[in-house]
């Protein structure tokens, strides 16, 4: 803990020249207060802690069977919609898949679009978007809507008019870089990540000035200390609880492969205002062929805790050293208070692609628990609580020119980017998961800017060769127990919403919106959506009426075959064969659907 205190002191000293102006500090306080108002939904994951839980209960388990469609709206885009609307006062804001239409809808005048914005983009960007042309939504801060466009342009729009306040460039599609994540606003900073791990992109997060769009700092995932913003003496390796030491990343790569090292940052970000740390994960190392990059390949597949004012890392924890399976670590970090061994601690819970649920002390990254959350996991027998490293099964290790079969989970993970919900009333997490396995054959590949840099042929299929590819579960990260599960034919790629109305609400890949009893999992209501759902339902209150809103629009890696018109099983990075029959149940097309109670 003393090391962490020194780290906080260092971070404070480094940020002395970047003190938050009073007005913008107030803007951060406003976001915290606004997120505590259940009538609104002002941060992509619902609040800074990412819990995706609402205390609204007008719609509840006793009356949800009366749910009906209130209104709908086409998004004007065909590809995968992985985001959610924001509700700011009387306005709704949401963003479509590419070409990234942004809409403002006046909730007092449904049917009229208050304003619309479609960015002019680099037309090369769609060709280097590995896993569909998805987007995970807009952010809000200081009277502006923050928009991440696929071509890596970040826009700040006036929330009232849609006029461009400023733009900033976060990358270059010609290098394989794209941007699909939802920005995070913290004080006077806007934080944005980068996509492109399958194109040899070296991942990073960037802090921009909220007023001007000026780049203030950039923290890479891999590389020299000065570029990953590590202090060798005070940044903690959370697995060992020791300082990382000098050039902790460079020591774990050979042949300068770190320069094409992956570790992209396209997932969800959360923030602790009291610790002044934000949390996110980095993706797989490049290439998928582990034989080309001996070593642990730090800090790919890593949870980072960073100071938002400076970008400096307080601690880092690598979940899958020398990743041989494409187990990105970008899934959300949910921040809660958890009783562990009789002590209530500020914790972080992360459901990783590799199939393990990590419960950590978010102050220093100390590992408290690590349990599998899908029964098919077989690539490792567990996580060593002393070293923090997975206990890998040798037969499941991949290497060049060898086809390794029946690895579980598959590269899409036991859970992909679909965010979980945490309910403080039940103290359970509700999450959509994948129940899938794969065959994996690595091969050598050469880098060329703007071209795929993968190096593996992957074939995915349901676990146990069954008919179940997805599960929606209620999970306790302390005990590792699954309280209930609902099986789905296809991967459960929608982020559940829990409410104080005793409900868990989620969508399915084949096109259903479902509301389940959060105590038992019993499905109490279901509605056939215009398209498959890979987005995240939200709820809000307007003029005394509670609404549920969700984007339908199938796509993403889970449905890449349908989105791209692919037919060969190993196409789409192995995804096509897994959902070959999905087209029998749903089709492309983005629609916002809003529900309310009927009589």
Each residue of 418-460: pLDDT tens digit? Answer: 999 999 999 999 999 999 999 999 999 999 999 999 999 999 9
pLDDT < 70: residue spans in the chain: 1-29
pLDDT of residue 465: 86
Q: Exposed/middle/buried for 507, CB within 10 Å: 0-12, 13-18, 19+? A: buried
Q: Is the pTM for the entire model greater than 0.85?
A: yes
CB 471 within 8 A of CB 433: yes
Residue 38 is classified by DSSP as T
DSSP secondary structure, 464-533, as one string: GGSS--EEEEEEETTTTEEEEEEEESS---S--EEETTTEEEEE-TTSEEEEEETTT--EEEEEE-SS--
Neighbours of 483 (CB within 10 A): 17
The reply to whether omega before 413 is within 30° of 0 (cis) is: no
CA torsion through residues 234, 239, 244, 250, sign: negative
pLDDT of residue 30: 86
Digit-coded pLDDT (tens) for 343-360: 999 999 999 999 999 999
What residues are labeled active site?
Answer: 326
CB 271 within 8 A of CB 279: yes
Question: Which strand (E) or helix (H) includes residue 26?
Answer: helix 22-35
- Which residues are bridge partners to 540 per DSSP? 547
Query: Strand, helix or coil at 125?
Result: helix
- Would you state the structure tokens that stand for residue 463, as one six-digit string? 């676990």
All structural domains of the chain with their residue ranges? 2-47+84-597
Query: Strand, helix or coil at 289?
Result: coil
Was domain 2-47+84-597 assigned CATH 1.10.10.10?
no
CB 262 within 8 A of CB 202: yes
Digit-coded pLDDT (tens) for 278-300: 999 999 999 999 999 999 999 99
pLDDT of residue 255: 87
Strand order in the sheet with 102-106: 86-88, 91-95, 102-106, 113-117
């Amino acid at each position: 803990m003393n090391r962490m205190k020194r780290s906080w002191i260092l971070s404070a000293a480094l940020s002395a020249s970047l003190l938050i102006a009073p007005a913008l500090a107030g803007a951060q306080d406003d976001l915290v207060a606004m997120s505590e108002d259940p009538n609104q939904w002002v941060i992509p994951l619902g609040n800074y802690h990412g819990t995706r839980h609402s205390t609204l209960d007008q719609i509840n388990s006793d009356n949800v069977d009366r749910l009906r469609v209130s209104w709908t709206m086409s998004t004007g885009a065909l590809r995968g919609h992985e985001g959610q609307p924001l509700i700011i006062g009387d306005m709704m804001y949401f963003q479509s898949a590419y070409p990234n239409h942004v809409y403002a809808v006046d909730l007092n005048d449904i049917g009229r679009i208050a304003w619309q914005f479609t960015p002019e983009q680099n037309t090369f960007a769609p060709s280097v978007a590995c896993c569909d042309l998805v987007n995970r939504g807009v952010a809000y801060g200081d009277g502006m809507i923050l928009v991440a466009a696929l071509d890596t342009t970040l826009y700040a729009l006036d929330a009232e008019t849609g006029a461009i306040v400023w733009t900033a460039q976060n990358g270059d599609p010609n290098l394989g870089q794209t941007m699909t994540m939802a920005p995070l606003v913290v004080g006077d900073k806007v934080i944005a990540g980068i996509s492109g791990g399958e194109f040899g992109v070296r991942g990073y997060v960037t802090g921009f000035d909220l007023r001007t769009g000026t780049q203030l700092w950039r923290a890479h995932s891999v590389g020299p200390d000065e570029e990953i913003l590590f202090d060798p003496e005070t940044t903690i390796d959370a697995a060992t609880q020791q300082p990382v030491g000098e050039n902790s990343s460079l020591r774990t790569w050979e042949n300068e492969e770190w320069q094409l090292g992956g570790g992209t940052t396209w997932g969800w970000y959360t923030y602790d205002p009291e610790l002044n740390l934000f949390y996110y994960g980095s993706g797989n190392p490049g290439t998928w062929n582990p034989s080309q990059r001996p070593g642990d390949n730090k800090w790919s597949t890593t949870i980072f805790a960073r100071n938002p004012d400076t970008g400096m890392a307080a601690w880092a924890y690598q979940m899958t050293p020398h990743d041989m399976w494409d187990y990105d670590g970008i899934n959300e970090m949910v921040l809660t208070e958890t009783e562990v061994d009789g002590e209530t601690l500020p914790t972080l819970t992360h459901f990783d692609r590799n199939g393990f649920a990590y419960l950590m002390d978010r102050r220093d990254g100390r590992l408290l628990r690590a349990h599998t959350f899908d029964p098919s996991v077989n690539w490792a027998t567990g996580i060593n609580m002393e070293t923090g490293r997975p206990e890998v099964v040798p037969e499941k290790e991949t290497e060049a020119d060898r086809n390794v079969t029946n690895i579980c989970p598959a590269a899409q993970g036991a859970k992909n980017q679909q965010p979980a919900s945490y309910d403080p009333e039940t103290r359970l997490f509700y999450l959509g998961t994948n129940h899938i396995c794969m065959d994996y054959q690595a091969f050598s590949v050469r880098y060329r800017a703007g071209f795929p840099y993968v190096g593996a042929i992957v074939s995915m299929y349901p676990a146990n060769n069954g008919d179940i590819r997805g599960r929606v579960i209620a999970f306790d990260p302390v005990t590792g127990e699954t309280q209930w599960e609902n099986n789905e034919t296809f991967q459960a790629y929608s982020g559940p919403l829990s409410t104080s109305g005793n409900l868990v609400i989620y969508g399915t890949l084949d096109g259903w919106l479902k509301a389940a009893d959060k105590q038992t999992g019993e499905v109490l209501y279901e509605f056939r959506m215009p398209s498959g759902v890979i987005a995240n339902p939200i709820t809000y209150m307007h003029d005394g009426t509670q609404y549920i809103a969700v984007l339908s629009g199938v796509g993403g890696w889970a449905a890449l075959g349908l989105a791209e018109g692919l037919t060969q099983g190993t196409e789409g990075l192995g995804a096509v064969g897994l959902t070959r029959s999905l087209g029998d149940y749903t089709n492309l097309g983005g629609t916002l659907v809003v529900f309310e109670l009927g009589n």
